[in-house]
Amino acid sequence: MIISIYQPSHLASLIPTMQSCIECVSKNLDGQEDITFSDLALGFATDVIGQAAFGTDFGLSKISASSNDDDIDKIATDTSAEAKASSEFIRMHVHATTSLKMDLSGSLSIIIGQLLPFLQEPFRQVLKRIPWTADHEIDHVNLALGGQMDKIVAERAAAMERDQAAPHAQQRKDFLSVVLAARESNKSWRELLTPDYISALTYEHLLAGSATTAFTLSTVLYLVSKHPEVEEKLLREIDGFGPHDHAPTAEDLQTKFPYLDQACMPFFDIGRREGIDEILLFIAIDSKGNGTWVWLAPGVLAKDPKNFPEPEVFRPERFDPNGEEEKRRHPYAFIPFGIGPRACIGQKFSIQEIKLSVIHLYRNYVFRHSPSMESPLEFQYSIVCNFKYGVKLRVIKRHTA
């Protein structure tokens, strides 16, 4: 049921939505010089996954680069009623993905849990009652997000009931509507897909499909703008595709941009470029059903010179499928989306969105590092990895024929 949403035919149907959102972002770059691109990228990615997962236009792509947080409410008022009802939810979502920290300045209960796991929950129960602590803030945001998410799910369920009563109503194809429809299809689904479970599942899609995509897209521009030889090859391929008003199809994205594939690939595993030592934890089950904790550090794997010669160097050609380095590399040395049945189901969705964005942006602009951006970049470890001060870029309008 869920995987069908990410099939090629459905992904192809999302290209106009993605294109529309990135065009809004592009318009907001006109007349700008220095921008915090990572903020724009988060708004764009949230809008795309908002329409794919919620069927709702949050309108964040329409906010200009110089706007502030209060414009979320203004945009929600200017667009649909559902976007207006979701404005506070989006405000809290942005806060959760950019401000809640998981490092040593974050939750004390989490830090204690890393050392003494059995003490984490007792400490959390105490600390969440103490104002100004990170545990209190996290608990407050979680409760507020949960309440807003439950409200959105309830409103969508009511809207679908009205649709059923209306003649010739168009079937909704967003993730939330598909899950709600499946819930009503039989008793077993109703028992599994409780309202709380649906809320959590839908928000997980928003979180996974916005913050991570925004981080990746921002890093693409950050590193490409730092390497003129990569930018030159990328522009040559993009300009050679065709007229700038001709949007690529899903098939074009897969077959017509081989260097873009290579240039974007490292950003799905950005750890090796900027020193992020991400650790994944999972359980391996043997044939007898015994479980063993396994720690996997992609950042360490990605710095292994046996698989990645000169691992600190940004060299897209290392991912050329016809190159010797790619052929020699162990197949599990590079697994940015995981492997096996638990691999990220949104992999193709994310790649399509990022490639379409890069193509449109570089058809119209090139970017340089802003003098106000720190070097090297500093990171903040929250629910997902983020930029501590944002990716600040200088926008240069291209004048192409």
More confident residue, 15 or 28: 15
Output the pTM of the full model. Answer: 0.81
Tokens of 273: 């470029």
Q: How confident is the model over 215-221, as a mean pLDDT?
A: 91
> 296-355: per-residue pLDDT in tens?
677 777 788 999 999 888 999 999 999 999 999 988 888 888 777 777 878 888 999 999
User: 3-state SS string over the chain?
Assistant: CCHHHHCHHHHHHCHHHHHHHHHHHHHHHCCCCEEEHHHHHHHHHHHHHHHHHHCCCCCHHHCCCCCCCCHHHHHHHHCCHHHHHCHHHHHHHHHHHHCCCCCCCCCHHHHHHHHCHHHHHHHHHHHCCCCCCHHHHHHHHHHHHHHHHHHHHHHHHHHHHHHHHCCCCCCCCCHHHHHHHHHCCCHHHHHHCCHHHHHHHHHHHHHHHHHHHHHHHHHHHHHHCCCHHHHHHHHHHHHCCCCCCCCCCHHHHHHCCHHHHHHHHHHHHCHHHHCCCCCEEEEEECCCCCEEEEEECHHHHCCCCCCCCCCCCCCHHHHCCCCHHHHHCCCCCCCCCCCHHHCCCCHHHHHHHHHHHHHHHHHHEEEEECCCCCCCCCEEECCCEEECCCCEEEEEECCCC
> 363-389: per-residue pLDDT in tens?
999 999 999 998 888 887 766 778 888
> For residues 195 and 190, what is the distance between their CA atoms, to the nearest angstrom?
9
Name the residue among 5, 90, 95, 20 with its Cα closest to residue 52.
5
Q: How confident is the model over 270-287, as a mean pLDDT?
A: 44
21 is in an annotated binding site: no
pLDDT at 161: 84
pLDDT at 179: 85
Confidence of residue 271 (pLDDT cuts 50, 70, 90): very low
User: 3-state SS string over 98-109?
Assistant: HCCCCCCCCCHH
pLDDT at 274: 42
Tokens of 125: 């129960």
**What structural domains does the chain harbor?**
3-99+172-269+347-397 (1.10.630.10)
Q: Is the CB of residue 199 less than 8 Å from the CB of residue 149?
A: yes
